[in-house]
Each structure stands twice: as structure tokens, then as C-alpha cells.
Chain A
């Protein structure tokens, strides 16, 4: 079992004719993902990575029965592409693009309350159910099918933790990168709830970072609603206030909210062990399973 994506997911790649879009469409197909189409305005009728390209997402849905999309569209046009996915009533839109203006995302966020589509990202590595499907840019070879769920705001940090798990023979049900932007679609609580309701997920790794209060809210959710054990990691203990640490969302505010300390304390209070190093997170998961 898994959450959100499996080998039945029918994927349309928005922006498949661009360098990134084409490369990762090929990688996704090689991994076994059921990529059925691409969508790029003005490029309808072409074939890229062995799949037909349509001018609109709507056409791709009509012709190929796509139910999910991955967005590789440049930042200036990405919000528009996400809107297209939402308004076409897909089940899932995964936005990889980094650097979408925050105000564009505020408009997307509003729209999300009006549609049934789930958004993952933006500024994320995507989602993978090992052995079945990956929607995004995660390196498939480090994942192994198993019983640990993973949710993270960061891409390479996810890889680091997954690598530790896999090398110990601990596989994953599904791993979701929810993205490093201040405004994102699926958040920690959404992902934790999906893992809690998945009988095959026996433990969850949650990798947070400085900025915002999502981790604090997730800690409260874990304490009140979860039976599945969770192990945590928080990046950014040494980040100075007022500086954006790479991710647009990773910033400790001048008034001192969004600190690693606050997040670690909240998780510890919720009974979640927080590792000092990524290896310690894998140790905790080994203990919890």
C-alpha cells in the first residue's frame, strides 16, 4: 500500500518540452511511472519521451485519461500552470518549480479551498511510492519498498535520511517532499493524516526546518491524533534571524518565531524523538518499528 500515487496513477507532465521537463519525464518513465502525456501550449501534436504532447491539460485528460500532473514550468508561468491543473479537476498536481512569487501562490492557495484537487509543492522534489511511481525529481535508486512513510520540506535532506534507512534495510511506503516555500499545498498535517490512515505505514519520518509554525501545528496533531509513531528532524538550528536560508520559507523572523528550538521542543512535547543528526533519525525509526 501507499498514499496518493501508485502504478495506476496516470500522469501528464506540464512543461514536458523544456530541458528539465523532458529529462525528468524520461526518468519517471524509466522508473516505471505511468506517464501518459505532456502538456505545453503550442506544442500539441509532438511526441516527447515517447508520449503525446497536447496544447492543454484538458486535452490530455480527455485523450489519455490523465488524473495527475507534474509541473516543470518556469517560475513566471508556474502559477498559471498550477491553476490549469486545478481547474481541470485532476486528483493531484505536483509542482516542482522553485521561485514562484509568493503572491502568485497566495492566489493558488485560495483556489485550493474551492477545488478537490490536492497540490504538492511547489519548490519540492515530488512524491514517490517505491517500485510503483515517482512524480518529480527524486532519485529512484535510493528508495526501497517498505513500511516507513516520509514527509519533508527539503529534497536532499530527504535523500540523506532515506539513504540511511535503505542502507539499514528499512524501506518506505511513500515519501513526499512538501516543499520549501512559505505557501504550499499539502502540509505536514495533511501528509501525516494520510500516513496515519495507511495500514502499511508503521512509522513516519518528518523532516522540518526553520520558518513558519507548521511543525508546531504538526506536533499538536501528532499528540492528539496519531497512533503511528513519528521520528523527527529539524534543520536550521544555527540559522541567524532575518536571513533566508536557501528556501524562501526557511527564515527565522526578526521577532524570533520559526526557530528550530521551538519546533524541536514542540515535537519532543508530543513524544516525537528529534535526532541531532540524520543518522539518529534512522536509529529512532529502527527502535520504533
Chain B
């Protein structure tokens, strides 16, 4: 789960990390009002979960009220890589002499958190990571002990951070690690951490991604999640408790088990179709979950056909079939053709139960996917 910049900065500021003065705005007038309060120059920054906002025109530096109005008009409502900008953060511009990078993430290969510090912060940190990985100092942390103070210092000195700000940067690194641990972060990052002409450090941007599996013990952050949801369908998926990812294609996909659903997507692509989504219905397939899953997929206006692929282990094919019948009988007219493939426990019984007037039944995964792709192509041609 990703926090917006303004949410992450709020969490950072509460923990004592210096952040520029700022306020959130949702209208042009509000932007100007906030900018006047803060004093120029200010930055107007789109709050969407998209990398490279600056390069895409989502961040503008303004010097006066006219420029603020102009920037607000262009950014609010703009489409940034598929997301509509509804909120902007208006923030004091920082007069900086240097841009640093600090971050904490989980190194899954090592099974340990890793703290990262670089003297070469700024927009191109990913390029630095690729071209000159040594320029980012990495310090692995024993999760049983947490980050020792010396490790924060070591990372800072090894990264050639100037002596004049080294202590402050080490302190930010320690705080960032504490936040990572206490708030169940998966990635927390400040890029850039700006150094001012007075040798102060300020977090000019903030990334805070939270481990979704830990939200049960982070109620405050879980509340922020609702605010951060951007796609209506993804919000709906959260509500239904599905693992759901929206894609660009027109073949809707419902299945059980992440690996098998991913495989179904891959097969749609392999047989010349385009997957519209990933939807894992999970274990069991009670009528209500089946109904909700179909509702999700039918709500996606791009969808031209649906493939429903269940491998029954403990889930029984006859129960799934009853669920599918019950779900589809609620429609006067089935919105889009549905292809069902049942395998595993009681699959033959399930296929008997399925109503051929409502769905197309296929015996193999490959067959079901091919049929759904054909249907989608026919629908798309109409």
C-alpha cells in the first residue's frame, strides 16, 4: 500500500524529520490561498501514485500568484500517466545546495532490511543505481536488533556525505529505519533529502509504502489507504477482499490461486488476446464471492469476455458451479460471454451442474482461454 507524498510527509514530520512548510489543496483558489500564506517561491505538486511526476509536468515551481494560478489550473484535473490529479501539495520551495538520497527497504534475497544512502540524490537515482551501484551505500540490518547507531553513521560516512551535515543525515537515517520497523514499511525513502545553504537537511519528497499484510496492526495508516485509493475498481476490490490488478486488455479473468491466475493471464496473451485484469477469488467459492467477482469484471467497461478458471483442491467443483449459476441467474441478460473451466475435486459433477444457457463450458485451461479470446475478438469487432 502506497501513501501519497503529503501523507508520508505528515508521518515523517511527526517522527521529527524536517519537512518544508506545506498544505494540501484541491482547487485553484485554494492553491493560491495556501501559496500566499506560505510565501513565494512555492512548489505545486500533483498527489498521484506515479513516478517521475516532475518530468511529466506534475510539479511546477511558481514565483507569484499569477504563476500559482496558472500552475494549479494546468495540474489539477490533468491526466498523469492514467491518473487524474485531484489534489496538489503546495509547499515552500527549498533553496538547496545539494541533493542526497536515503531509504530503507526489505532485501528479500538476504531476508533483511537494508538502509541505503547516496550523495547523488535527485531525479536520476534509479539511473545511478544501474550505472554506478557503488554510489549507493547499503547497510544490512539484523531485524532482531534493529539499526545500530554506528551503522547509520557508517553508511553516511561511507557515502561521502559532507561532514557539516553528516550528523543530521545519520539522525534522519535512524528515524527512517525506526519508521520502517514501527510502521511496517516495505519501502521508505527520501529523495531528495535537500541540504540548504545553512547546512540544514530537509525532506523535499517522501515515499512510504506499507506492507499490506501488516495493516491490521497499523490502523492509522489503514485509514490513509482509503484516501489513497485512486481507481474505483481497485477500491471495490479492497471492499470485496479480492486480490485484483487492472490491466488494459478486454479478456476478463477470474481464478483461484495467484500462480494459476497469473498463468491464465499469460495464456490469454499467448493465444493472441489481451488480459483485462488479475482477479484471485481465493479459496472456497461461495455464491456471494462468485457474484462479487463477476460484478467486478463486468464493471470494467473494457471487458468483452470472461474466462473463469477454478482448480478445485479443497474447493469443490460442484459448489463452484452452483455459485456461478446463482450469480448469473440474477442477470436478465448476461452482459458478456463467460467461459468456465473447472478441474480437480468434483469437476465432472460441477460441469454437469453448470447451465449451458448461461456459460460456455470447456474442459481444459488451454481450451477455455482460447474460447474466451475468440469471444472477445468477436465482441470487439461488433
Q: Could you list which residues of chain A lie within 8 angstroms of chain B, going by C-beta atoms?
A: 23-24, 27, 75-76, 99-103, 105-107, 109-110, 125, 137-139, 141-142, 152-160, 163, 180, 182-183, 207, 209-214, 233, 235-240, 243-250, 254-255, 260, 276-279
Q: Known: A237-B266, A246-B258. Contact between A109 and B111, CB under 8 A?
A: yes
B56 CB within 8 Å of chain A: no
Given B258, B270, B280, which contacts A276 in the complex, CB threshold below 8 Å?
A: B270
Contact flag A255-B259 (CB < 8 Å), given A183-B111, A235-B266: no
Q: Is the CB of B213 within 8 A of A138?
A: no
B214 and A103 within 8 A (CB): yes
Residue in B216, B243, B257, B366 whose beta carbon sits within 8 Å of that of A156 in the complex: B257
Our pick among B113, B126, B243, B311 for the contact of A159 (Cβ within 8 Å) is: B311
Alpha-carbon distance between A246 and B36 when the two chains are bound, in angstroms: 46
Q: Given known contacts A246-B280, A279-B364, what 5 new A-B pairs fall within 8 Å (CB)?
A: A100-B213, A102-B184, A102-B213, A103-B113, A137-B314
Interface string of B25-38 (1 = CB under 8 A from A): 00000000000000
Q: How far is the CA of A157 from the CA of B38 in the complex (A)?
A: 56
Interface on chain B toward A: helix, strand, loop, or mixed SS?
Answer: mixed
A-B contacts, 17 of them at CB < 8 A, read: A102-B211, A106-B143, A110-B111, A139-B313, A156-B259, A156-B260, A157-B260, A157-B263, A180-B258, A183-B108, A235-B259, A235-B263, A235-B266, A237-B269, A238-B266, A244-B212, A246-B243
B247-289 CB contact bits vs A (8 Å, 1 = yes)?
1000000011111111101111110000100101000000000
Nearest neighbor of B49 in chain A, beta-carbon distance = A242
In the complex, residue of chain B having the shortest beta-carbon distance to the beta carbon of A111: B144
**Nearest Cβ distance between residue B62 and chain A, in whole angstroms?**
29
Nearest CB of A to B235, in Å = 15
A76 in contact with B217 given A103-B184, A249-B108 (CB within 8 Å) = yes
| Cβ contacts under 8 Å, A211 to chain B | 108
CB distance from A279 to the nearest CB of B (A): 6
Which bucket holds chain B's interface residue count?
A: 35 or more
In angstroms, how far is the closest chain B Cβ from the Cβ of A212? 5
Across-interface contacts of B211 in A (CB, < 8 A): 101-103, 248
A75–B216 contact, CB under 8 A?
yes
* A247 & B108 in contact (Cβ 8 Å cutoff): no
Q: Pick the contact of A102 from B214, B265, B312 — CB < 8 Å?
A: B214
Tell yes or no: B106 within 8 A of A by CB.
Answer: yes
- Per the bound structure, the CA–CA distance linking A250 and B278 in Å amounts to 12
Nearest CB on B from A209, distance (A) = 6
Interfacial chain B residues near A157, Cβ < 8 Å: 257, 259-260, 262-263
Chain B residues near A (Cβ < 8 Å) = 51, 106, 108-109, 111-113, 126, 129-130, 142-144, 181, 184, 186, 211-214, 216-217, 243, 245, 247, 255-263, 265-270, 275, 278, 280, 311-314, 343-345, 364-366
When C-beta atoms are compared, the residue in chain A nearest to B345 turns out to be A139
Also in contact, A182 and B278, with CB within 8 A (given A141-B345, A250-B262): no
Cα-based distance from A138 to B315 in the complex (angstroms): 11
In the complex, A245→B184 CA distance in Å? Answer: 20
Chain B: CB-nearest residue to A237: B266
Q: How far does the Cβ of B51 sit from chain A's closest Cβ, in whole Å?
A: 6
CB nearest neighbor in A for B105: A253
Taking a contact as CB atoms under 8 Å apart, the answer to whether B311 and A156 are in contact is yes
Q: Known contacts A110-B143, A141-B345, A238-B269; decide if A247 and B258 are in contact (CB<8 Å).
A: yes
Question: B51, B113, B143: which has the most chain A beta carbons within 10 Å?
Answer: B143
Minimum Cβ distance to chain A for residue B111 (Å): 4
Given A107-B143, A246-B261: A255 and B344 within 8 A (CB)?
no
> B212 to A248, Cβ gap below 8 A?
yes
**Contact, CB under 8 Å: A156 / B313:** yes
Q: Please, which residues of chain B bring their CB within 8 A of the CB of A103?
A: 106, 113, 143, 181, 184, 211, 214
Residues from chain A with a CB closer than 8 A to the CB of B255 are 156
Q: Which residues of B contact A237 (CB under 8 A)?
A: 265-266, 269
Taken together as a complex, chains A and B put the C-alpha atoms of A137 and B256 apart, in Å, by 14
A279 touches B216 (CB 8 A): no
CA distance A117 to B64 in the complex (A): 66
Contact indicator A209/B343 (Cβ below 8 Å): no
In the complex, the chain B residue whose C-beta lies closest to that of A157 is B259
In Å, the complex CA distance between A109 and B142 comes to 10
The list of the 3 closest CB pairs from A to B, nearest first, reads: A154-B259, A246-B258, A156-B257
